[in-house]
A and B are shown apart, each in its own frame.
Chain A
């Protein structure tokens, strides 16, 4: 005899309502593969292309009280769905990048100003945050972007216009830029 679904769901939602969770998460499918999305009380803290590897990383970053609570992720799942259907160009959900170093947060904040369907380069982004020589460090911060797609690190490419790199793999980066109708530099 296993725990009935209704009892299981009731516990998960009570746990989320109790305020004791470090983060809640859910899984969702997308045209570029299964995604894990997670949120703290402050906002979405993770979008991951490798759901099976992510819980430990989340626990490491936010604390071990991580639980799957689908209802908590309804809004971000809907916005992602709309984005992939081409019906949404920007995200309204709040993000939580609080645990990151301040340089990474600065990079990610500037990144949100790169419009849908356009691309910029690591060097240009470095210049925009006042660290003109830090293109490589900017690349590192983007590589560790915990909320890809929502914070659009796929819109940043190499100086030559090459895609260069993407934590989720270059084919996903290409797919996102194609979806947005971006033309490379």
Chain B
């Protein structure tokens, strides 16, 4: 056991939650910060029982938050056009789809745009969404059904 033992998790959380939330909003924007916030403190909780000492807990949780933000941005990178995207059309498919799909719930919207706009397969889409191929397929078909309903 080190010089200072870790305080009950509640105290640690209460002391750092607002600062970590602000950090994540700066990195990711408010909407994505909400998921990242939960992921950050769940990772902290997982490690908390085995902490050898309680020094620099603030810096420690900031590092976790930065890692979570990086992971989230890395997962999302395929959603942005890459360099070798063939420029056949001034208005590429994904742009048109993004406009059409803008009213869908976030996961369905992402699945539809990635599948039909970027031609990714469900395996890849699952990885982007942090789920799997089956969930990605379901999200895409739910999105398409919803779009059909809206367009008719």
Hey, which bits of chain A sit against chain B, CB under 8 A? 1-4, 7-8, 10-11, 14-15, 18, 20-22, 25, 55-56, 58-59, 63-68
- Kindly state the separation between the CA atoms of A58 and B41 in the bound complex, as whole angstroms: 20
- CB-defined contacts of B41 to chain A, threshold 8 Å: 11, 15
Contacts of A14 in B (CB 8 A): 38, 42
Contact A56 B8 (CB under 8 A): yes
Shortest Cβ distance from residue A72 to the other chain B in the assembled complex, whole angstroms: 13
Q: Tell me if B49 counts as interface (CB < 8 A to partner A).
A: yes
CB pair A20–B46 under 8 Å, yes or no, is yes
State the Cβ distance, A68 to closest chain B Cβ, in Å.
6
| Residue of A14, A22, A65, A68 ringed by the most chain B CB atoms within 10 A | A65
List residues of chain A with CB within 8 A of the CB of B72.
Answer: none
Indicate if B37 sits at the interface (CB-CB under 8 A).
Answer: yes
User: In the complex, what distance in Å separates the CA atom of A23 from the CA atom of B11?
Assistant: 14
Q: Are B17 and A3 in contact (CB under 8 A)?
A: yes
CB–CB B8/A55 < 8 A: yes
Chain B residues within an 8 Å CB radius of A64 = 5-9, 48-49, 51
Pairwise interchain contact B49-A63, C-beta atoms closer than 8 A: yes
| CB of B25 within 8 Å of the partner chain | yes
Q: Which residue of B lies closest to A62 (CB)?
A: B8
CB-CB under 8 A from B38, the residues of chain A are 7, 10-11, 14
Instruction: Give 1 or 0 for each of B1-18: 1 = CB within 8 Å of chain A CB.
Output: 000011111110100011
Contact residue among B6, B7, B11, B21 (Cβ-Cβ distance under 8 Å from A7): B21
CB pair A66–B9 under 8 Å, yes or no, is yes
Could you list 28 examples of A-B contacts with CB < 8 Å?
A1-B18, A1-B22, A2-B18, A3-B18, A7-B21, A7-B34, A10-B38, A11-B37, A15-B42, A18-B42, A20-B42, A20-B46, A22-B49, A25-B10, A55-B11, A56-B7, A58-B8, A59-B7, A59-B8, A64-B6, A64-B8, A64-B9, A65-B48, A66-B8, A66-B9, A66-B10, A67-B9, A68-B10
Within 8 A of A (CB), among B11-54: 11, 13, 17-18, 20-22, 25, 34, 37-38, 41-42, 45-46, 48-49, 51
Distance in angstroms from B114 CB to nearest chain A CB is 26
Residues of chain B within 8 A (CB-CB) of A63 are: 49
Residues of A contacting B48 in the complex (Cβ-Cβ under 8 angstroms): 64-65
